[in-house]
Structures are given as structure tokens and as C-alpha cells.
């Protein structure tokens, strides 16, 4: 059984703050990060930024589709809770995979 370890990244408190904001205010902050040269090239931010952007887009599409039914309110609350949870994990300096989204981001080379 071989375990894969993530390469050690130089993670600053600024990186952690930007990733927290990227998850909580997705997809707005990830787009802002893409426009900031010094932020978008940081390994820790780069790893989380595209995940947060794709997650935010998927959440918006699901919320719009389900907003025509009462379930839309429930999914909106659940997505806010999920984004806060992921933002806190990123703010602790953790790297993690979001099941389908992380694989998609890696396949695209982002």
C-alpha cells in the first residue's frame, strides 16, 4: 500500500486568508484572484482557487435549477454551510479534494 504525500508548500497566513475568502465568496473572489498576478501563482492559492471557482459555478447552476421548487431554499443554505466548512479547512492550511471537481480541475491542467 503506497501513500501519496502532497509536496510541502510554503503557506503564508495571507495564502490561507485568500483561500478562505475564495470558498466563502465563490465565484467572485476566485475571479479576482485570477486577475492578481502575485496571488494566482502561489501554489497553495492556485490549488484551492480553481476548485472554489468550479464549485461556485456548479452551486449557482444547481441553485438556479432548484430555485423553482421549495428545495432551492434548502440547497442554498447547504451550499453556504459547505463553503464555510471548506473555507475553514483551507484556512487551517489543509489541502483536500472535492470528489468530482478536483479531478476535473486536474484534467484541465489548472
Q: 3-state secondary structure string, the chain?
A: CCCCCCCCCCCCHHHHHHHHHHHHCCCHHHHHHHHCHHHHCCHHHHHHHHHHHHHHHHHHHHHHHHCCCCHHHHHHHHHHHHHHHHHHHHHCCCCCCCHHHHHHHHHHCC
* Residue 6 included in any domain: no
* Residue 49 included in any domain: yes
* Residue 1 included in any domain: no
* Residue 4 included in any domain: no
* Residue 71 included in any domain: yes
| Greater pLDDT, 68 or 25 | 25
* Residue 32 included in any domain: yes
| Greater pLDDT, 65 or 26 | 26
pLDDT at 4: 45
Q: Residue 47 sits in which domain range?
A: 13-108
- 48 has a pLDDT exceeding 50: yes
Indicate the average pLDDT of the chain: 87
* Segment 41-53 mean pLDDT: 93
- How many folded domains does the chain comprise? 1
* Residue 91 included in any domain: yes
**Distance in angstroms between the alpha carbons of the first and the last residue of the chain:** 28
Q: State the residue for C-alpha cell 478562505.
A: 20
* Residue 7 included in any domain: no
pLDDT band at 3 (very low <50, low <70, confident <90, very high): very low
* Segment 82-100 mean pLDDT: 94
Question: Is there a contact between 29 and 51 (Cβ–Cβ < 8 Å)?
Answer: no
pLDDT at 65: 83
Amino acid at each position: 500500500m503506497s501513500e501519496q504525500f502532497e509536496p510541502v508548500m510554503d503557506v503564508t497566513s495571507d495564502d490561507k486568508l485568500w483561500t478562505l475568502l475564495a470558498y466563502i465568496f465563490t465565484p467572485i473572489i476566485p475571479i479576482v484572484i485570477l486577475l492578481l498576478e502575485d496571488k494566482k501563482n502561489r501554489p497553495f492559492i492556485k490549488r484551492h482557487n480553481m476548485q472554489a471557482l468550479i464549485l461556485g459555478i456548479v452551486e449557482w447552476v444547481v441553485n438556479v435549477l432548484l430555485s423553482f421548487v421549495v428545495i432551492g431554499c434548502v440547497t442554498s443554505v447547504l451550499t453556504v454551510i459547505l463553503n464555510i466548512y471548506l473555507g475553514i479547512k483551507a484556512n487551517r492550511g489543509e489541502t483536500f479534494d472535492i470528489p468530482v471537481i478536483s479531478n476535473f480541475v486536474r484534467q484541465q491542467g489548472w
